[in-house]
């Protein structure tokens, strides 16, 4: 039975430096800040929230108290689709981002992808739109 419920992912990741991470993601993904600040940031693309950044060890979030428990993003990939893959690759190179996998076509999805690490060590995948 079809549902009228709409779900949209709005992941929140804990970072060491909210402002620096915000600048990094804005440069990589051509997105904008919708909040700003030292403890919390909302990043939007075309007015839609798609990523939240939060400082580690802030009182109101008791589950974000100790980054030493596990590597950042252990078991999680931040996966973003872009309408301009080539521009994202150029931005990644300009940022001197750590490239985990160079640009390639994923044979399963038919998408071009680049895999990176953000300043906190999270794995970030930027993918072009599916061409098949």
Residue 132: pLDDT band (50, 70, 90) is low
pLDDT at 56: 86
Domain contains 65: no
Determine contact, residues 67/27, Cβ cutoff 8 Å: no
Boundaries of domain holding 33? 12-58+72-128
pLDDT digits (tens, 9 = 90+) for 75-130: 789 999 999 999 999 999 999 999 999 999 999 989 999 999 999 999 999 999 88
pLDDT > 70 in the chain, percent:
89
Helix or strand or coil: residue 33?
Answer: strand
Inside any domain, residue 111: yes
Instruction: Count structural domains, the chain.
Output: 1
Instruction: Classify residue 64: in a domain, yes or no.
Output: no
Q: How does the average pLDDT of the chain come out, rounded?
A: 90
Whole-prediction pTM value? 0.86
The rounded distance, in Å, linking the Cα atoms of 16 and 118 is: 11
Q: What is the CATH number of the domain that holds 99?
A: 3.10.180.10
Does 23 fall in a domain?
A: yes
Could you tell me if residue 7 is inside a domain? no
Burial class (CB in 10 A: 0-12, 13-18, 19+), 51: buried
Residue 67 lies in a domain: no
pLDDT at 65 over 70: no
Q: Is residue 1 domain-resident?
A: no
Buried b (16+ CB within 10 A) or exposed e, 67-94: eeeeebbeeeebebebeebeebbebbee
Examine residue 47 and state whether it is found in any structural domain, yes or no.
Answer: yes
């Amino acid at each position: 039975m079809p549902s009228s419920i709409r779900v949209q992912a709005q992941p929140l990741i804990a970072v060491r430096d909210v402002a620096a991470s915000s600048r990094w993601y804005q440069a990589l993904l051509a997105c904008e800040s919708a909040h700003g600040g030292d403890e919390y940031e909302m990043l939007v693309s075309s007015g839609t929230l798609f990523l939240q950044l939060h400082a580690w060890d802030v009182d109101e979030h008791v589950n974000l108290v100790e980054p030493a428990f596990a590597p950042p993003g252990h078991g999680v990939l931040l996966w973003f689709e872009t309408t301009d893959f080539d521009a994202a690759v150029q931005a990644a190179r300009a940022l001197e981002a750590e490239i985990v996998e160079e640009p390639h076509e994923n044979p399963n999805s038919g998408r071009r992808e680049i895999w990176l690490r953000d300043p906190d060590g999270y794995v970030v995948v930027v993918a072009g739109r599916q061409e098949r």
